[in-house]
Structure 1
Amino acid sequence: MSRHHSVSRARDSHVRTTSTRKRLSQNFLTDARAARLIVHASGVTTEDLVLEIGPGDGMLTRQLLGVAGRILAYEKDPHYATLLSRRYANNPRIRLFHRDFRTARAPREPFAVVANVPFTITTDIVRWCLAARHLTAATLLTQVEFARKHSGDYGRWTKLTIGHWPTVAVELGARIGRHSFHPMPRVDTAILRLRKRSDPLLPRELIGDYRKVVALGFSGVGGSLAASLHREFPTSAVHAACAAAGIPLDQPVGLVSPDRWTALYRALRA
């Protein structure tokens, strides 16, 4: 083969790899110290089954193999799926799947999720984790703004976090700079930790009803949480519940903390 053809094939391969990386929103973790920090934050032990999302070239995978019992890794990029399948072909503790994680069925046994999440599908991944019955915890590396927004670090709270708060604690972890990735993203990242509560803050049979009240509160009618609740509850009941939970009647819904939400719900039911 001529040198011209070799250079041409190398260029075509680079273009395909770059195009796939952009399409899949891939920013690979290249900092081993950051990878160790993520795995340490996950609290994973040799007893745990771990699902890894988008392992890429395996920086996080290598750290997980040092502590996890078993790993199920889901990689959508065919190049890296093949690379990792070959690398770990003789390792019985890890299985590689060439598929979109969002289509995967959750295990029917306790498991954790650890991942450097593709930015464009972060919300989908969080929703998948929250819906998984046997999830124990998820340690997700996300854009720092996303992590701060969903952990209440801005002093505001999202409907997603509030709706699942009685069963899942959402916590902001360490910040990891953009220089720990290739290609380097435009923003820094942070660890977002989802931790399933062994003892829910509300009886399980009431969780569905609680989420209906949360949806009503976030409906955006009237400019405040109390105004939105008036659509379904008597004014006197709303006023009494807000007073019991320490929520001003003109408080915007986003400024109401999870703990006040659970107090509000208990008061409304009473």
Structure 2
Amino acid sequence: MARRARNSRALLQNFLADRATAEHVARLAVPHGRQVPLLLEVGAGKGALTARLAPRCHELHAHEIDSRLVPKLRTRFGATPQVRVIAGDFMDTRPPRTPFAVAGNVPFSRTADIVDWCLRATNLTDATLLTQLEYARKRTGDYGSWTLLTVRSWPCHDWRLVGRIDRRRFSPVPRVDAGIVRIERRRTPLLEPAALHDWRHLVELGFSGVGGSLHASLRRAHPRRRVDAAFRAARLDPRVLVGEVSPDRWLRLHQELTS
């Protein structure tokens, strides 16, 4: 038992060990009892979440990097026709050419890479991910502050913290609790495609820290009078810290500075 725990930690795996929690996550991944055409599961592990997701999918690709677990998964789901167990690293997967969703209990150390993969996938509809609670809170604005990644992707993706999972629901027990992050691609983006380049440039400039403040950073690309007017329109104090500016206020800044 101790050897298994050590191996799991080496692969950074913390398996869901509570059926009710797995059922709860599955319901969040596929809301309102619907069935999704194609769902990719990141880190199937021992199949706790896989078993709850399978009835909600027409097709489920369960990815597992640990070669020791793959035979057991294939045995467990051999009679479940919609489940396909895929051995290997999820990050090596090419995004499907048809609409699909992602769900999974994400290794904490690989969260950023997996989220980036999801954001780049043009046919992704949504992703429901178990992550370190701190990551989930930072990305969704739950601390009252916002990160560059969230703001930059906001016109096309909605970020929400939809749950918290006590660390004792996992085995081995991690040091921290987990959060459930829901990322949904907007059916109608908040900006036109032609405006997205200017949006990313504006946000990245604002988060650059050049000049010592958001107001000073934006003045590197826009006249002071326009920046002042934009801050007034967005109801922002010129002394505001960049992380304190919500995506909605960023949208108003963008509107004023690029109109």
Flag whether TM exceeds 0.5 (same fold): yes
Following the alignment from structure 2 to structure 1, what is the Cα–Cα distance between the partners of residues 198 and 152? Answer: 10
Q: Is the 8 A contact 1:171 1:193 kept in 2?
A: yes
Report whether the alignment pairs 1:245 with 2:234: yes
Report whether the alignment pairs 1:185 with 2:181: no
Partner of 2:73: 84
Q: Is the 8 A contact 2:36 2:101 kept in 1?
A: no
Q: Is the 8 A contact 2:138 2:147 kept in 1?
A: yes
Within-5 A mapping of 1:46-65:
46-65=35-54
Q: List structure 1 runs of 4+ shifted beyond 2 angstroms.
A: 17-20, 43-48, 85-92
Deviation digits for residues 235-267 of structure 1 (CA, Å, limit 9, x no counterpart): 122111111111211111100000000111011
Report whether the alignment pairs 1:194 with 2:183: yes
Structure 2 unaligned segments of length 5 or more: list them: none
The one-letter code matched in structure 1 to 2:72 is L
Following the alignment from structure 1 to structure 2, what is the Cα–Cα distance between the partners of residues 199 and 243? Answer: 28
Q: Is the 8 A contact 1:53 1:115 kept in 2?
A: yes
Partner of 1:27: 14
Partner of 1:40: 27
Within-5 A mapping of 1:202-221:
202-221=191-210
Q: Is the 8 A contact 1:172 1:192 kept in 2?
A: yes
Percent identity over paired residues = 45
Give the secondary-structure state (helix, strand or coil) at the position aligned to 1:66: helix
Partner of 2:222: 233
Q: Is the 8 A contact 1:151 1:171 kept in 2?
A: yes
Partner of 2:87: 98
Following the alignment from structure 2 to structure 1, what is the Cα–Cα distance between the partners of residues 167 and 6? Answer: 21
Q: Is the 8 A contact 1:115 1:139 kept in 2?
A: yes
Give the secondary-structure state (helix, strand or coil) at the position aligned to 1:74: strand
Aligned residues: 257
Give 1:116 shift: 0.7
Within-5 A mapping of 1:32-181:
32-43=19-30, 45-181=34-170
Give 1:90 shift: 4.2
Root-mean-square deviation over aligned CA pairs: 1.4
Following the alignment from structure 1 to structure 2, what is the Cα–Cα distance between the partners of residues 182 and 93? Answer: 27
Following the alignment from structure 2 to structure 1, what is the Cα–Cα distance between the partners of residues 102 and 82? Answer: 16
Partner of 1:264: 253
Give the secondary-structure state (helix, strand or coil) at the position aligned to 2:175: coil
Q: Is the 8 A contact 1:223 1:252 kept in 2?
A: no
Q: Is the 8 A contact 2:157 2:184 kept in 1?
A: yes
Following the alignment from structure 2 to structure 1, what is the Cα–Cα distance between the partners of residues 141 and 60? Answer: 31
Give 1:111 shift: 0.7
The one-letter code matched in structure 2 to 1:24 is L
* TM-score of the superposed pair, with normalisation by structure 1: 0.91
Deviation digits for residues 130-184 of structure 1 (CA, Å, limit 9, x no counterpart): 1110111101111111111100010110000000001100001111101111001
